[in-house]
Every structure is written in structure tokens, then in C-alpha cells.
Structure 1
Amino acid sequence: MNHGISVLFRAIPLAMAAFCFAYGAYVYTAGDDPLRLTAGPVVFFLGSICMALYCTAATIIRQIVGTYTETAKYIFPAIGYSFALATIICGVFILTSQTSGSLVTGHVVCGLGLITVCVATAATASSRFSLIPRNSADASFSINPQGFTIGQSVTLIGIVSATALAAWVWCILLFVRGTLPAHIVAGSVMFGIACICTSLIALVASIARQIRGSYSMREKSKWSSLVITMGSLAFILGIVLLIVLRSQTINFVGFVLFGLALICWSISSKVILLAKIWHTEFPLANRIPIIPVITALACLFLAAFLFEATDFAHKYYVPARVLTGFGAICFTLYSIVSILESGASKK
């Protein structure tokens, strides 16, 4: 990877983060539509995920180009976790406020904070990414002493697993204890967020175990299937909600779930790539980055249709804007999987 490309792939997450922050702030402050109080903060805090993805990108690229330092080893995960903490705190603050739509907005923003925790953990797990090509070329399948210890590997996977579990419990509580339509909306979105967090378990586990050298051939399909399944579950629930709630204004949440499913499938590109190049040559590895490009375009095209639909059905105001932010997330994931392809497939 040359210097120009390395700068570009690091610039993409930053540009997408800037877009989310700017667009979210614009939506929040422009006009007097009460729905802007939901759409604005959600889009804004999607930028936190982009920043955590930037930390992952910078961590891997610096190892590829040979500029990774001991300071960078700690600073990038710290940045990611800082954005995660700030997002969760802001979500709690929104929940305790009495603004319009605060119940849905607060829960969703907290959920975005949980995703950011998982992505920051992926950045932490990538701190020894340069060992993956070396371990992949080792025909003995032995544990690399320079990689993570079993305790470190379990801790990294455990952090993401605990975060995903928290998201699932949060989702269940919203459905079981909720009494308002807003609880259905928040619970449904939290379902999609839990699917993303679960998908990130597969990513962190793949990275950590390949760095350690304990990634087995059986895991190739295991982790890939998990991510694809999570995306499919979110997509199916979206269809169900669109049909079951078709006579209600809250059925728009189905489109939000479509976007969350597309993010899961974007994550699958990274998990699939790591699986395909482990102890084997995969000539089509450089084609895998097209997956997040397709999902990003799908988000943007769907957002465009919903923007038009807003003219005669105002309920699409929020998903139209949120899907635009989801497109930014998917495009950011394109840069990450391209970096992975450049670094991990090099023997």
C-alpha cells in the first residue's frame, strides 16, 4: 500500500464522521419539525461509529506502512472508547430530558454507543494485525507467542460479547416492559443494533484468534454464517414490521431495520475476507470490498425514495435521514475491508 492510498483510506472514515456530525447537527437545528429531534441526534452519533472505525483503519494502516508506534497502540483504542462513552452519556441525558421523541432517541443513541464500544474493541484487537499474514503462512497451525495470550484473546471477545448481550437484554426489556408505540420503535431498532454488536463478535473473534494463531478452519464458515444470519434476522424483522404495522405510523421502523441489516452485511465482508485468506490463496479477495459499496448504495437509494415518500407520508422523515447516515457507515466499512485486503492477504 503506497502512501497516497493509505492517506485516502484513513481519510474516508474521517470524512464520513464529519458528514454525520455536520448533517446530524443541521437536521437537528433546521426547521421546527419535532421529528428532527430524533433524526438529528441519531445521525450525529453515527459519527461516533465512524470515528471508532477510523481508529481501526489507522491502527491497521500504520502497521502496514511501518509507522505504528507504542503510543499509537494505546491512543487509537482510547479515542474509540472515548467516543463510545460520550455517546452513551449523551443517550442517557436525552432519555432523562423531556424533549419530543426523547424515549426513542435516547435508547437509540445509547445503542449506537454500544456499537461504538464493539468497534473500538475491534481497533484494540487490531493492534497486532501484522501477525495475521505471518500466521496464515504457517503450515503448522501453531500458536504464535508474539500474538495475544489466551487471556487477552478471551477478554477482547468477552468485551464485545458482553456488549452484545447488553443490547439484546435492552431490546427484550423494551419489548416486554414497554407500553407505548415508542417502545416498539426503540425495541425494534435496538434489535437491529444487537444484531450489529453480535456481528462484531465475529469480527473481533476472527482478528484476535488469527493474531494468536488459534483460528481453526472450522471457524471460517462459523463466523461468516453468524454475521449473515444477524443481517438476515434484522431484514426479516423489518419486513414483518412493515406488514404487521402497515396501518400505523410507526411502521417506518421497518426501513431502519433494513439499513441496520445492510450494515451487518457490510461487516460480513470483513469476516468473510479474513476467513477466505486464512491458510489459502483467494484470487477474488480484491472483489470482496464491493460488498460494502453495494450496501452503501442501497442505503442511499432507499433514503432517496423515502425522501420522496415524505412528501405524502411524513412518517418517513426520520428513516430517510437515518439511512443516509447508515450509507456513510457502510462506505466507511468499505475502506476498512480494503485495508484488510491489502494487509492480510499479503503473504
Structure 2
Amino acid sequence: MDYRISVLFRAIPVLMAGVSAALGGYVLAHSSGPSARVAGLVLLSLAAICLCLFATAATIIRQLIGRYTTTDRWLYPVFGFAVSGATMGYGLSLLAQNPRPPPDFVAGHVVFGVSMICVCVSCVATSSTRFLLITENSALPEGSPPRSPAPFSAPAAGALSALPVLAALTTWVWAFILLAGGGGGAPAGRFTSGHVMVGLALVCTCLIGLVASILRQIQNTYAPRERVLWPVAAAVLGAVGVILGLVVVAAHSRSSQLSAGFVLIGLGLVCWSILSKVLLLALVWRRTAPLANRVPLIPVGTALLCLFLMAFLFESDDSAVIVGARVLTGLGGICFSLFSIVSILESGTSGDQDESDTAS
């Protein structure tokens, strides 16, 4: 990989984090009302996902350009988990306020759900600390034994596999409690928080497949059935988010429900952006995939769809609907950050970097 391109791919998630955080800060500083506070806090939290994606991008790229050090091996995963912890703590602090302003009920739940995604993305970064082994293992014949000694110890591999499952399960349970009316707060707040938490849980569930794909390809335990299982699961989860969002939009009786529906659609598009990474890993594993270099177009398309939806919603004069438009801006930034990660994966697994090194 060319060094200048590597800098660009690392800069994209940071720039998207800056856009999301800047918009969130601007909304909090210059807009008034409960809807503005919800949108501003959620946008600030979405920037945390982009920062965790930066940790993943830097982890892989530093290996591809031959500058990966022991410090890097610890620095980027720790950075990702630190961002996750800070986001989680802030979400819980919003929920723990007494008295708690109504906007903070919705914002606190969403920020906590975002922190669960950050945990999953940080597991992706940690799993990628042995990324170069994917190319080596892919060159081995089908049925070759697992790597020995194992790249990750049994406890480490178990923890990396279990953390995304635990994060997804926590988010699902929390979402169902909210939708069942057990989360407290106004009915509209429970509806909005519950449905957005469902979308966040879908994203966490998608990331289980991504962590499993990277981890098992690194350990050379990736089974043929997983080539189909994880991409299909991500595609279905994204479709569930989009379809559920469309149902909420079609059946809404309050503007806050309309906003929640569009955010659900955006989170479904994020799932499809994650699908591109899972699909790419499946396509290039021990086979030639001529169309693999087209896979990065998927997150580009989802990012554009988020931005088109955002522009559509900004035409509304309802402050609750504007919340959805603002949040879709941050989700579009996440999709574009995922374009950077997919492009890095494509470069790292296609062997293009070896060809460029030879040519130079």
C-alpha cells in the first residue's frame, strides 16, 4: 500500500469523527429545545464509533506498510476500549441524573447503545493485531490445521469472541425492556429509545460476524460454511433494520416516531456497510475473486443514501424530524469510515501491496 494512500485511509475516520462531533457541538451551542439536545448528544457519541474505526484502520495499515510495533499492538486496541468506556460512562451518567431531563432519557439510552457498538469495533481492532496472518493462511490448502502456536491464547480468543456477543445481548435486552414499557420515562421517549436501541443491537450483531471472520481466518479455523453464514446474517440484519424503519415510518402517529423510523433505516444501512467487510473476507479466502475490488462501493452507496435521507428530512419544519436528519449525518459519516476500512481490507487481502512493492 502506498504510504500517502495509507495516510488518507487513516484520516477518513478521524475526519468523519470531526464532522459528527462538530455538528453535535454546533447543535448543542446554537439550537434550543429538547430535540436539539438529543441530536447534539447522539452526534457526539457517533463520533466515538468513528474513532474506534480509526483504531482498526491504523492497526491494519501499520502492518501493511511495515511500520507496526509492539507499542502499536497495544496502543490502538487500548485507545478503542478507552473511547468505548468513556462513551458508556457518559451514557450511564445521563441516565443516572436525578432529576433527569426528558431529552436525556432518550439521549442516555442511545449513547449507551452506541458504546456497545464501540466495544464491538474495538474487538475488531484487537483481532486485527495479527492481520497479516490472514493472507498467509489463505495461501494454505483447504483443510490445513489451525496455526500452532495459536496467534491468540485460548482466553484471549474466547474474550474477543464473547465481548461482541455480550454487547449485542445487552443492547437487545435493553431495547426489549424499553419497548415493553419497563424503561421509565414518557411513552414517546420509550418508543424512540427502544426502536433506536433495536437498530444499535442489529449493528452489534453484525459485528459479531466480522470479529469471528477476522479471528478465525487469523487462526486458520475459518470453516467453509462461514463463507455463507456471516455475509447472509449481515445482509438479513440490515434488511430487518430497513424494513422495520419503513414500517415505523408508514405507521407513525407522532413526529418523534417518524424520526425514529428514519434512524432505524440509517442503522440498517450501517449493517450493510459492515456486510461489505464480512463479504470481502469471505470472497478472497482461498479463492480468486475478480469483483472483490468492487465491494468498497457498498459503503459508498450506503453513505450516499444516508445523506440523501438527511437532505429529505431537513426540509421538514418539525424539530423532532430534524433530529433524524442530524443523526443520519453522523450515520453517513460512519458508513464512509467503513468505506475506508473495506478499502484497507481489499488492499491487504488482494496482494496488491506485494505487487506494488515489486514494481517499486
Report if TM-score (shorter chain) is over 0.5: yes
Query: Which residue number corresponds to residue 22 of structure 2?
Result: 22
1:62 aligns with 2:66: no
**Displacement of 1:150 after TM fit?**
4.2
What RMSD in Å do the two structures reach over aligned CA positions? 1.4
**Displacement of 1:249 after TM fit?**
4.1
Deviations 1:79-123 (A, max 9, x none): 101111111111111123323411110000000111001001100
Q: Distance in 2 between matches of 1:66 and 1:45?
A: 33
Query: Which residue number corresponds to residue 157 of structure 2?
Result: 153
2:330 partner amino acid:
G
1:280 partner amino acid:
R
Q: Distance in 2 between matches of 1:188 and 1:227?
A: 19
**Displacement of 1:248 after TM fit?**
5.5
Q: Distance in 2 between matches of 1:126 and 1:330?
A: 20
Between the aligned residues of both structures, percent identity stands at 46
Q: Distance in 2 between matches of 1:154 and 1:225?
A: 24
1:183 aligns with 2:183: no
Contact 2:273 2:335 in 1 (8 A): yes
Query: Which residue number corresponds to residue 134 of structure 2?
Result: 132
Query: Which residue number corresponds to residue 50 of structure 1?
Result: 50
Deviations 1:171-228 (A, max 9, x none): 1111121462211110100000000000000000000000000001111010111111
Which residues of 2 match residues 118-129 of structure 1 at below 5 A? 118-129=120-131
**Displacement of 1:234 after TM fit?**
1.1
Which residues of 2 match residues 289-328 of structure 1 at below 5 A? 289-308=296-315, 310-311=316-317, 313-328=318-333
Deviations 1:242-285 (A, max 9, x none): 12224564232100000000000000000000000001010111
Q: Distance in 1 between matches of 2:325 and 2:256?
A: 14
Query: Which residue number corresponds to residue 335 of structure 1?
Result: 340
1:238 aligns with 2:240: no
Query: Which residue number corresponds to residue 165 of structure 1?
Result: 169
Q: Distance in 2 between matches of 1:121 and 1:84?
A: 11
Q: Distance in 1 between matches of 2:40 and 2:306?
A: 17
Query: Which residue number corresponds to residue 178 of structure 2?
Result: 174
Query: Which residue number corresponds to residue 223 of structure 1?
Result: 230
The change in CA–CA distance for 1:247 and 1:166 in structure 2 (over 3 A counts) is closer
Query: Which residue number corresponds to residue 212 of structure 1?
Result: 219
Contact 1:37 1:100 in 2 (8 A): no
Query: Which residue number corresponds to residue 83 of structure 1?
Result: 83
1:196 aligns with 2:203: yes
Query: Which residue number corresponds to residue 253 of structure 1?
Result: 260
Give the TM-score taking structure 1 as reference length: 0.96
**Displacement of 1:28 after TM fit?**
1.0
Contact 2:146 2:221 in 1 (8 A): yes
Contact 1:149 1:212 in 2 (8 A): no
Q: Distance in 1 between matches of 2:340 and 2:162?
A: 26
Moved more, 196-205 or 239-248: 239-248
Q: Distance in 1 between matches of 2:256 and 2:124?
A: 37
Contact 1:202 1:271 in 2 (8 A): yes
1:5 partner amino acid:
I
**Displacement of 1:31 after TM fit?**
2.6
Q: Distance in 1 between matches of 2:313 and 2:292?
A: 34
Where 1:101 maps in the other structure, the secondary structure is helix
Contact 1:14 1:54 in 2 (8 A): yes
1:45 partner amino acid:
S
Q: Distance in 2 between matches of 1:111 and 1:65?
A: 34
1:36 aligns with 2:36: yes
Q: Distance in 1 between matches of 2:90 and 2:154?
A: 35
Contact 1:277 1:345 in 2 (8 A): yes
Q: Distance in 2 between matches of 1:246 and 1:129?
A: 48
The change in CA–CA distance for 1:82 and 1:174 in structure 2 (over 3 A counts) is same
Contact 1:178 1:184 in 2 (8 A): no
Structure 1 runs not aligned, ≥5 long: none
Where 2:314 maps in the other structure, the secondary structure is helix
Query: Which residue number corresponds to residue 142 of structure 1?
Result: 145
Give the TM-score taking structure 2 as reference length: 0.93
1:26 partner amino acid:
Y
The change in CA–CA distance for 1:247 and 1:41 in structure 2 (over 3 A counts) is closer
**Displacement of 1:314 after TM fit?**
3.2
